[in-house]
Amino acid sequence: MTNTATSEQCTNITVNGTGLAVSPGHSLIQALWKTGHPLFKRASCLEGVCGSCRVMVRYADEPEVKMALACQTKVESGMQVVFPQHLERQSAALQTHRYQLQSSIPADQHLHEVFPETAHCRHCHGCTVACPKGIDVEKGITLANDNELTAAGDLFVNCVMCDLCVTSCPEDIAPNYVALFARRTTAFNKPLPGNLAARLQALQRGELKIEY
């Protein structure tokens, strides 16, 4: 089925199995909004930062499926698009990752207590292929398993927490949350920047007032 075009010049694409005629020259989100398509209640920043609009795309002349962010992807004739929300699963591991940052426990030991499944990485590349931000996610997990937490966390600076790596992992690893842990523990175990420490001390002494 192909929905009615909204302009004389339109580009034909397929979204979740439905043919649509959309305005060319727009991002997927903009084009679909113009059709009145209801899919995008979750879209947030529209600048490739929040990761809400993750999408699977196959272009007309390419056999493989790529992952992308719909707000950063221009419509192209013949492209097939699937919004994978319905493929998401609630990882049991995701729901039980609770931790408190503690300097008394070595961060690497803590990591393996909180995320024991990380050791089961089978190096299938699925997470790296899935990442729309081009992060070498698998390498991050390998670094984390080798207790290289600073390097692991640094790899994920551009992560938008879209969870596509989680969705793609056959071992129920949540690489983005492992990276978050790595970055938090790295920061926690470093001395505070001088100006921040001074502000916190002033706050504790009651010297900073909040004006409403």
Choose between 73 and 176: whose C-beta lies nearer to ligand SF4.
Answer: 176
The nearest distance, CB 123 to ligand SF4, in angstroms, is 5
The nearest distance, CB 187 to ligand SF4, in angstroms, is 18
Among 166, 155, 161, smallest CA distance to 126 is for: 166
The nearest distance, CB 97 to ligand SF4, in angstroms, is 14
CA–CA separation, 70 vs 67, rounded Å? 9
Question: By the 8 A CB rule, do 48 and 160 touch?
Answer: yes
Site for ligand SF4 in 14-33 (CB under 6 A): none
- Among 169, 181, 182, 183, contact with ligand SF4 (rule: CB under 6 A): 169
Determine the 3-state secondary structure of 112 from DSSP: helix
Question: By the 8 A CB rule, do 68 and 3 touch?
Answer: no
The nearest distance, CB 14 to ligand SF4, in angstroms, is 23
By CB under 6 A, which span of 27-35, 87-95, 96-104, 168-176 interacts with ligand SF4? 168-176
Question: By the 8 A CB rule, do 64 and 81 touch?
Answer: no
The nearest distance, CB 93 to ligand SF4, in angstroms, is 11
Site for ligand SF4 in 102-141 (CB under 6 A): 121-127, 130-131, 133, 135, 137-138, 141
183 touches ligand SF4 by CB under 6 A:
no
Question: By the 8 A CB rule, do 196 and 115 touch?
Answer: no
153 touches ligand SF4 by CB under 6 A:
no
Q: Where are the alpha helices (DSSP H) in the chain?
A: 28-34, 92-95, 107-114, 126-130, 137-145, 149-155, 164-168, 175-188, 194-204
Q: State the Rg of the chain over Cα.
A: 21
162 touches ligand SF4 by CB under 6 A:
yes
Q: Which residues bind ligand SF4 (CB under 6 A)?
A: 51, 121-127, 130-131, 133, 135, 137-138, 141, 156, 159-165, 168-171, 173, 175-176
